[in-house]
Structure 1
Amino acid sequence: MQLSRNQIQTLSLIAVSILANITLSGGRVAASLFVLRHGGSAALAGIAYSTYSLIPAILSLLIGRWIDHVGPRRVMRSSQAAMIIGLLAPALLPSISTVFLCALVCGFGFAGYLLAANVAVSMMPFAHPGERVGMLGWLAMGGSAAGAFGPMVVGFAIDRGGFAAAYAAMAVIVGASLLLSFCVDVPGGVGGMVKAPGKGGSSVVRDVFSNPRLLRIYLLAMVVSMGYDGFAFMTPVLGEERGFSATTIGMIMSCFAAGTFCMGALLPWLSRHLTEWRMMTIAFGTTAAVFMLLPLAYSGYLQGALGFVFGFAAGAGQPNILSLIYRAMPDKAGEGAGLRSMMGNTVGMTAPSVYGAVAGLFGAVPVFIGVGCVAAIASWQSHLGWKSRARLTASAASER
């Protein structure tokens, strides 16, 4: 089988991304463990974990605008350099303050890298719009692989050489990703997207909130984040209520990761048969069903099976959202993706607190039912988006 140029570029970018993703997947584990093992409370460890999302929640829109002006390739490499600098601080002088500084800098660097990588793939010339979804799905597979691989590498390094060695190892790995980016065909030249730069600081925000179709896309992106965080945060809580072992809970989470990986692998085929809106309608409907069924599943194996199904559905969310954003505003793709990232990270910082408060008062079941209801509404809204798109296509065809 001969690969197309787009596929070769995406595979090259996946290789770079797997190494760069270590910063987030491994860094969060290292930060939490460092705080806990150096006298910090569980609450402080949670803050260290969440600090990686602080800068993306505040600055993703500006990072996206930066991508639009200078091009994704330059932003990717600048972000990789920032991650290396952040990781060297606790590697050379391990302390709680440098661990938090690393979390801030690496959170910024990883957000810039991920946004730029997604925009680089979105900018590729595709013969069929559905191919963009497939390649974005392939890129997400790299993140899934790093999510499973990163904590293992960091845990091994901590056990063998301590935290300084673990942060040094992550710096070396990200350094390897930076060097690799100069050796492979990474898409996204340095020219930037200067066709129609935004006028004023809130151009995309103004566009989104003045256009109901665009606003629907961004609200659905927030539901994708709600689902991810709801499952990741509440599955251990539900498992504790049911008396599951840590091994069983870990197995359930691994099944979810396997589901997202499988969806990423299949997206190039699915995108040739289903539009973005159609896929999201099915994915949100499946998510709603899984969240309604999880409280009824008292077997760890059954919850693992449901976790795989949810992962399979959730894996379709972000690639389709990003594809719709690029199609709606190709000249502001970076800023548009940045707004999505900012909204998603804001949900990631606030939703677990809300879930935890509700679970503390009423148990885990109401949280799962609530998220399931929101996902059902999102499925209905995706169906309306599909119908709206079909009407626009039919109208354009009749005018021709």
Structure 2
Amino acid sequence: MFTAQLSRFFAKAPTQVLSLIAVSVLAHVTMSGGRVAASLFALRHGGSEAMAGIAYSLYGLLPALLSLHMGRWIDRVGPRLVMRLSLIAMICGLALPVLWLNLPVILLTATLGGFGFGSYMLAANVCVSYMDFEQESERVGMIGWLQLGNSVSSVVGPSLVGLLIDFSGFRAAFGGLALIVLGSFLTSYRVHLPDGKRERARAPRGDASVVRMVFSSPQLLRIYILAMTVSMAWDGFNFMVPVLGQARGYSATVIGMVLSAFAIGTFAIRAALPWLSRRMPEWRQLSLAFALTASVFFLLPLARSSVLLATLGFIFGLAAGAGQPNILSLIYRAMPDGKAGEGAGLRSMMGNLMGLTGPSVYGAVSTLFGAVPVFLIIACVMSVSSWQAQRGAHHSLQAG
């Protein structure tokens, strides 16, 4: 039955689904690989660990600050143009170290790459809001499959960059990544993507911003706050599991196994979202996902075996992997015509800001009081989030 549901899903918009996944996988390979290459270059060429962290973080700096403006840009000119211009920005950034290989150029590459990829993924996700589906719930499955491609490329990118650096050096690594983005850019001309003309014609003028809409609507505000808690739990797990493992003397292999189990869980749930979304509405999925997340964070400090830790990591992966697609689907459904990009941009900005500030807070609390309070705080927040998602479901039924 699961296979039959997937077949029906791809029968709805096979060209658009495969087009977005194909172009996005190639683009995301360079993002995941570029971060590794930039931080390694900083470490190996006189930079400190702090400088390596700066090089890594610059990929997320501009998206954290400019995602809302990126979303408005997408609403004005359409997603296809933004996707292609973003790929050009990434190509230019990656080509710079091939010509001038030094630390300032690497930092510029990270900044351009982060801006290009952030605007690209926003536009790719907005494409989903313009696609027609027989049932609105199928949009969640489409978003899940788009992010499934990103999960695959997150594994391929760092491995590919590592091989290129070891065998041919950093110039070849950045040059290879630039060629991959060029392949993504050329592929975008060979596949069907929304052109945005219809959306530009519908875009409202002079109306309230999405920020004002969100803070004037309790239901919309609930969606965006829950989006921040998804990012909070995701970053909390990836940051605190190594901290917990280090405190307990676990090997890097064990810590890596737990994080890999989490990645497998996100992959599995995103693969199943086309089937799951036809049986469970977004709010219900979020309520269940947050409840699972709360349970995992309550149990993580108590888990003493590597197998149990990996099992909890996999369960959290199932919960976390379902969060963002359902949040985006609710946002697209709530946004008026011509505001999908701005709505997604606001979500991206809030998530990136949480990603920039959250680990610092977790580290400070962990230094003062140990790792356990961090896990318990996140567990309590996710418990409240599950209750809020249930309230959202009740409100949605009343409104319907």
Runs of 4 or more, structure 1, over 6 Å off, are: none
Contact 2:94-2:177 at 8 Å conserved across structures: yes
Q: CA deviation at 1:110?
A: 0.4
Contact 2:25 2:149 survives alignment (8 Å): yes
Alignment correspondent of 2:323: 317
1:82 correspondence with 2:89: yes
The alpha-carbon deviation at position 226 of structure 1 amounts to 0.5
TM-score (normalised: structure 2): 0.95
Report how many aligned residue pairs link the two structures: 392
Q: Which residue of 2 aligns with 1:132?
A: 139
Aligned to 2:204, the other structure's residue is in SS state coil
Counterpart of 1:248 (choices 243, 249, 254) is 254
| CA distance 1:26–1:131, shift in 2 (3 Å) | same
Aligned counterpart, 1:267:
273
When residues 265 and 330 of structure 1 are mapped into structure 2, their CA distance, relative to the original with a 3 A threshold, is farther
Corresponding residue for residue 282 of structure 1: 288
Q: Deviations over 1:64-101 (max 9, x none)?
A: 01111111111111101110001111222111101110
User: How much does 1:123 deviate?
Assistant: 1.4
Match of 2:103 among 96, 106, 116: 96
The 5 A counterparts of 1:207-218 are: 207-218=213-224
Is this contact kept in 2: 1:252–1:303, CA < 8 A? yes
Q: Quick one: distance in 2 between partners of 1:196 and 1:184?
A: 25
Query: Is the aligned partner of 1:370 residue 2:396?
Result: no
Identify the residue that residue 396 of structure 1 maps to in structure 2: none
In structure 1, give the amino acid aligned to 2:107.
F
C-alpha separation in 2, matches of 1:336 and 1:262: 27
Alpha-carbon distance, 1:293 to partner:
0.7
Report the secondary structure of 2:47's partner residue: coil
Equivalences for 1:15-26 in 2 at 5 Å?
15-26=22-33
Letter in 2 for 1:144: S
2:159 and 2:280 mapped to 1: Cα distance?
Answer: 36
Work out which of the residue numbers 381, 387, 391 in structure 2 matches 1:380.
387
Structure 1: gaps of 5 or more residues: 394-400
Write the deviation string for residues 181-211 of structure 1: whole angstroms up to 9, x where unpaired. Answer: 11122345455443133527x7111111111
Q: Which amino acid aligns with 2:213?
A: D
Aligned to 1:65: 72
SS for the counterpart of 2:46 is coil
Cα distance in 2 between the residues matched to 1:238 and 1:305: 16
Deviations 1:150-183 (A, max 9, x none): 1101111111111111111110111111111111
Distance 1:170 1:192 in 2: 32
| Distance in structure 2 (CA, Å) of the matches to 1:17 and 1:311 | 21
CA distance in 2, matches of 1:64, 1:188: 16
Question: Residue 316 of structure 1: SS of its match in structure 2?
Answer: helix
Indicate if the aligned counterparts of 1:52 and 1:106 stay in contact, CA closer than 8 A.
yes
| 1:157 and 2:168 are equivalent in the alignment | no
Alignment-mate amino acid for residue 169 of structure 2? G
Query: Counterpart amino acid of 1:166?
Result: A
Instruction: Pick closer, same or farther for the CA change 1:25–1:192 going to 2, 3 Å.
Output: same
Identity %: 60
Q: Is the 8 A contact 1:74 1:190 kept in 2?
A: no
How far apart are residue 8 of structure 1 and its match? 3.1
Structure 1 residues 202-227: Cα deviation after superposition (integer angstroms, max 9, x where no partner): 71111111111101000000001101
How many Å separate the matches in 1 of 2:141 and 2:174?
34
Letter in 2 for 1:163: F
Q: Give the counterpart letter for 2:307 in structure 1.
A: Y
Matched residue type, 2:209: S
Partner of 1:148: 155
In structure 2, how many angstroms separate the alpha carbons of the residues matched to 1:74 and 1:189? 8
Does the 8 Å contact 1:198/1:204 carry over to 2? Answer: no
Q: Is the 8 A contact 1:69 1:194 kept in 2?
A: no
In structure 2, the CA distance between the partners of 1:123 and 1:7, relative to structure 1 (3 Å rule), is same
CA RMSD of aligned residues (A): 1.3
Partners in 1 of 2:170 and 2:272 — Cα distance? Answer: 38
- Give the aligned residue type for 2:349: M
Say whether 1:231 aligns with 2:237: yes
Q: Name the CA distance, whole Å, in 2 between partners of 1:333 and 1:215.
A: 16
Corresponding position: 1:181 with 2:188: yes
Secondary structure at the aligned position of 1:367 is classed as helix
| 2:95 and 2:178 in contact (8 A); partners too | yes
Which whole-Å CA distance do the structure 1 matches of 2:288 and 2:387 have between them?
10
- Paired amino acid for 1:351: G
**Among candidates 346, 355, 365, match of residue 339 of structure 1:** 346
Partner residue in 2 for 1:392 = 399
Structure 2: give runs of 5+ residues left out of the alignment.
1-6
Deviation larger for 215-224 or 190-199: 190-199
TM-score by length of 1: 0.95
Q: CA–CA distance in 2 between the matches of 1:50 and 1:198?
A: 36
In the other structure, the counterpart of 1:398 is none
Matched to 1:380, the amino acid is W
After superposition, the Cα gap between the structure-2 partners of 1:198 and 1:143, relative to the gap in structure 1 and judged at 3 Å, is: farther
Query: 1:303-339: CA deviations, max 9, x gaps?
Result: 1111111011101111111111111114200000000
Match of 2:119 in 1: 112
Structure 1 contact 73–116 (Cα < 8 Å) conserved: yes
How far did 1:288 drift?
0.5
Choose which of 40, 44, 48 in structure 1 pairs with 2:47.
Answer: 40
Q: Which residue in 2 is equivalent to 1:169?
A: 176
Find the aligned partners of 2:151 and 2:93 in 1 and give their Cα distance: 23
Distance 2:294 2:101 in 1: 44
**Partner deviation per Cα, 1:239-277 (whole Å, 9 max, x = no partner):** 111211112211111111111111111101111111110
Find the aligned partners of 1:219 and 1:306 in 2 and give their Cα distance.
25
2:268 aligned with 1:258, yes or no?
no
